[in-house]
Structure 1
Amino acid sequence: MLFLIELWESVRGFIATGGNVLYVVAFALLLMWILMIERYWFLASVYPTMRDDIIARWDARRDTTSWYAHRIRETWISEADELLEQRMITIRTLVAMCPLIGLLGTVTGMIGVFEVMAEQGTGNPRLMAAGISQATIPTMAGMVAALSGVFFSSRLDAKVKLAKAKLVDSLPHH
């Protein structure tokens, strides 16, 4: 329990150093990871059953060569693709937004530095250093959040494309 309290205090200290924009970065990161975990769960547990059902329905058809059969096949593939691609654009958007949110923190931090310089002058480097630190931490946090999302979302994207390709290959058309 003491470890969790110390961890929470260090996170609060980090956010106090970087400013309130870090809450927005944290929210975007949390939402991105919730969506990615949901997509991994979908690919691992829900999609295989759905895929097997589509394949079984296709194999049970007598007619797999007519124009109508091919339209039915395309419809099933399209429905599966839509479910596979669900939330992927949101994940990609959140990955792209994290550095921009960090940049917003940099701009607000630099505005704070300029306010200190306007009020106190340039004679107090300690106050300026605190503002510059507050300006750079959100950028770093946004970049780290984006990097964690880039790797896993690209892996997830590859898994989605592979799942669709395997489904297409599993429904032979003659």
Structure 2
Amino acid sequence: MLYLIGLWESVREFIATGGNVLYFVAGALFLMWTLMIERYWYLTSVFPGIRKKIISDWEARTDTTSWYAHRIRDAWISQASDGLTARLLIIRTLVAMCPLIGLLGTVTGMIGVFETMSTQGTGNPRLMAAGISMATIPTMAGMVAALSGLFFSSRIEAKAKMLKESLIDSLPHH
């Protein structure tokens, strides 16, 4: 319990040092990871059942060679592909937004530095250092958030592509 309290205090201190923009970075990070976990769950738990049903429906057909049968096959593959790639665009957008949100924190932090300089002058380095850390911490947080999402989202996209290709190979057309 004391560990969690200490951890919470560290997070609060980090946010106080980096500014309120870190709440937006945290929100984007939370949404991005929620969507990536959902996609991983879909690819590993839900899609295998869908794949089996599509393959069994295809093998149960008596006609797999006509033009009409090929259109049905293409429609099933297209529906499966839509399910595999759902929400990947949102995830990629959130990955791209994280550094930009961090950059917003940099701008607001630098505004704070310039405000301090205009009211206090350049003689108080401690006040300027607080503004500079408020300018750099959100940038770092945005970059770390984007990097964490970039690796895992590219893995999820590669897995979705592999599963689609595997489904296509499992539905022979003669």
**Structures share fold, TM-score greater than 0.5:** yes
TM range (shorter): over 0.9
**What pairs up with 1:16-95 in 2 under 5 angstroms?**
16-95=16-95
Paired residue for 1:110? Answer: 110
Could you give the per-residue CA deviations for residues 44-73 of structure 1, whole angstroms, max 9, x where no partner exists? Answer: 110000000000000001111100000000
Q: Counterpart of 1:10? A: 10
2:121 & 2:152 partners in 1: Cα distance? 46
Whole-angstrom CA distance in 2 between matches of 1:114 and 1:62: 76
- Report the AA paired with residue 108 of structure 1: T
| Superposed displacement of residue 126, structure 1 | 1.0
Runs of at least 5 residues in structure 2 that lack an aligned partner in the other structure? none
What SS does structure 1 have at the residue aligned with 2:65?
coil
- Note the alpha carbon deviations across 1:56-115, whole angstroms, 9 max, x for none: 000001111100000000000000000111110000000000000000000000000000
| Matched AA of 2:172 | P
Gaps of 5+ in 1: none
Counting matched residue pairs gives 174
Q: Tell me the secondary structure at the aligned position of residue 25 of structure 1.
A: helix
**TM-score, length-scaled by structure 1:** 0.99
* 1:130 partnered with 2:144: no
TM-score scaled by length of structure 2: 0.99
Where in structure 1 do 4 or more consecutive aligned residues deviate above 3 Å?
A: none
Quote how far apart the aligned CAs of 1:151 are: 0.3
Distance 1:107 1:122 in 2: 19
